[in-house]
Structure 1
């Protein structure tokens, strides 16, 4: 027999768990029955991963953060540092296993929430109203879950038509060095002392947990990911030749691929079926940051449902932010701007917290104009004039690659 709920959430990643967390907060005006459908343990379930975002101290997830930093640093290709000292905000790192445990504690106190382990094959509207999720459990038995509202957080199978499509792809090592090598109060947001690809840009990223432990990543913005050997070579070069870390042990690693596109991700795929997370447009096209937008999206949806009102999917980023992202992506993809120089100019010329507000899409018009003056004006204006005449096309690439993560102990 099918199971019926007020709300069905497909997927227990950042977007699915966040929506469940906010829906199950104490004090709802209208009690809701909620089903959270996730794949059984195995290759279809997302591996442990790391999310980073910025907000003031005292956020909901502060008790389970892996670390937070009051200073951010960007290094130019010649090594010259720019340090932003944050007074109002903190740059925060949250590990998915800690987040899942926190959410699980709340969900376990919510009798009206059901966890269902099943592999989803289809999500669709029902002719009679509401939506349904078709799936099979670990034994191959058919599982049908129905809901008045269904929220699908699975990654998009294909990217939408766009004028510009790039990928942000990265591999990171959690390393333990033999000697102190890191400043635990400073995160390296972008380090451009990496060999730049022919198309796009690359940079290093260092998040220290203590003086000898850090997440060290190599990231590219480019049309296609590297193979495993390409990431390994890039990380070895960055860790040993650039950072000079010396002997180290890799305790875990993670890999990810995020869309950087001015394509439009529709927030609905039916009358009663909604897309959330990356598939719902929560990934910022110009930076790849997603987690903060997921929280805004989840809170807004949960507030309406808990008050007995129908959901209204908020746009994660406003029209002005999306227009600026489209210009930046096209300017970078066309080669009109040098990526390392572009981001270096921004961090050198714009106060740190103002720039973070800009990157989060929460800055005001006059702040956007001040930021724009720190970019290469002529190439950007040329791109602004060109964009209306460019046609949105299907990306030439195949569907987004999966983002596996291996956990190991080794010496590179």
Structure 2
């Protein structure tokens, strides 16, 4: 049975990002660094890292578009499909609010380009990659460090791999208990038009000129990659997903009736479901086994944005490993942000707050850079309070007061994909 310092299960955004940051040049680990239980010694630099890809099929993450905001000069800027410093929101009344994101930029990154570039880099740095279905991860017995990863390789042979640390990015088989569970579900069309139809310098973050569900919300989302090309998505926050024809019907309505575009060609399609729930994520699955990415709480419950949280988490884990510390992934979002998310999710789910007017008012009354920092959990308490006054105060306060008395309920099975 072979061994390694680190095994990463899954080569999606979380797995590849952690492998990337582990191969960054790190300072020598100080020998005096105190370590947590279980006992250990500072890990050598560079670490031996094994990344396990799922085979082609339903276990491998499909191609994705990730969006996030940060200042120019980020580590993945050379890989971006597009970026914008102007965002626009259309309210249900049709009025548009446009703002500049400066000093931030809204960035669009395709998983295909990210995977190819990061894969090349980590291979050059000596990361070993295997293709296998992981059947189980067995934490080491008491008093013995490490864990074993069991699975089946692509050629059908068994896999047994021992590691000091294991990081698992696979979706949990059973979602943790929650008081509120909504789904952010969407289908996007990459479209090409015969004539200029999209302003390349402006992304439509939320367009609420779509039929709204009784509870939750729906909106259009337009990311132009050129005057004649864009990713156009229809998105809902609700309890249940649509059929394939339901998404296509909504997209046709949005392109034809709302945007007034005809004669477009659909060049590619993407679709996804992101659970939005006030769960208590448990990142530690054993003494030497940790969950990362969406499985480790990197998704912001109120927005579904994940990529920025993945990067914060991966960089922190890499820093802990290089320092010889026990690499418990830190929360990607602080307790204040998670508490506000829980209130908003329940307010939307109960119908006390109408989603489209709620978000429209925020974008109309809060400076855009401040609002983006708020959505990323990077604002001060005084800023959070000021933003809270621009929400429906009475129903939000009612929800906040009742929330401690609402039981968390288990959700059996994986969330729909």
Q: Which band: TM-score by shorter chain?
A: over 0.9
Q: Is 1:176–1:212's contact at 8 Å kept on the other side of the alignment? A: yes
Unaligned runs of 5+ in 2: 29-44
CA distance in 2, matches of 1:398, 1:122: 17
1:50 CA drift (Å): 0.5
Which residues in structure 2 correspond to 1:365-384 (within 5 Å)? 365-384=381-400
CA distance in 2, matches of 1:146, 1:37: 13
* Cα deviation digits, residues 75-110 of structure 1 (max 9, x gap): 001210011112200000000011112212211221
Residue 129 in structure 1 maps to residue 145 in structure 2: yes
CA distance in 1, matches of 2:279, 2:171: 15
**Structure 1 residue aligned with 2:332:** 316
Q: 2:345 aligns with which of 329, 340, 352?
A: 329
**Structure 2 residue aligned with 1:10:** 9
* Cα deviation digits, residues 43-75 of structure 1 (max 9, x gap): 322221110000000000000100000101110
Q: 1:68 aligns with which of 55, 70, 83?
A: 83
Q: Is 1:332–1:338's contact at 8 Å kept on the other side of the alignment? A: yes
Q: Aligned with 1:133: secondary structure?
A: strand
Q: 2:291 aligns with which of 275, 282, 288?
A: 275
Scaled by the length of structure 1, the TM-score of the pair is 0.95
Once structures 1 and 2 are overlaid, which stretch shifts more, 305-314 or 180-189?
A: 305-314
- RMSD of aligned Cα (Å): 1.1
**Structure 2 residue aligned with 1:407:** none
CA distance in 2, matches of 1:333, 1:41: 36
**Structure 2 residue aligned with 1:173:** 189
CA distance in 2, matches of 1:217, 1:31: 42
**Structure 1 residue aligned with 2:201:** 185
Q: Is 1:284–1:290's contact at 8 Å kept on the other side of the alignment? A: yes
**Structure 2 residue aligned with 1:20:** 19
Q: Is 2:84–2:202's contact at 8 Å kept on the other side of the alignment? A: yes
**Structure 1 residue aligned with 2:118:** 103
Q: Is 1:184–1:210's contact at 8 Å kept on the other side of the alignment? A: yes
Which residues in structure 2 correspond to 1:11-410 (within 5 Å)? 11-27=10-26, 29=28, 30-111=45-126, 113-127=127-141, 128-395=144-411, 398-402=413-417
Q: Is 2:277–2:301's contact at 8 Å kept on the other side of the alignment? A: yes
CA distance in 2, matches of 1:42, 1:167: 23
1:240 CA drift (Å): 0.9
Once structures 1 and 2 are overlaid, which stretch shifts more, 312-321 or 203-212?
A: 312-321
Unaligned runs of 5+ in 1: 403-412
1:129 CA drift (Å): 2.4
CA distance in 2, matches of 1:369, 1:44: 42
Q: Aligned with 2:16: secondary structure?
A: helix
1:307 CA drift (Å): 2.1
CA distance in 2, matches of 1:122, 1:136: 10
CA distance in 2, matches of 1:301, 1:11: 16
* Cα deviation digits, residues 19-65 of structure 1 (max 9, x gap): 00000113452221000011123332222111000000000000010
Q: Is 1:156–1:278's contact at 8 Å kept on the other side of the alignment? A: no
Count residues in correspondence.
399
CA distance in 2, matches of 1:121, 1:207: 39
1:297 CA drift (Å): 0.2
Q: Is 1:156–1:400's contact at 8 Å kept on the other side of the alignment? A: no
1:398 CA drift (Å): 4.5
Q: Aligned with 1:160: secondary structure?
A: strand
CA distance in 2, matches of 1:39, 1:391: 36
Q: Is 2:215–2:354's contact at 8 Å kept on the other side of the alignment? A: no
CA distance in 1, matches of 2:378, 2:328: 20
1:157 CA drift (Å): 2.5
CA distance in 2, matches of 1:158, 1:224: 18
CA distance in 1, matches of 2:258, 2:222: 12
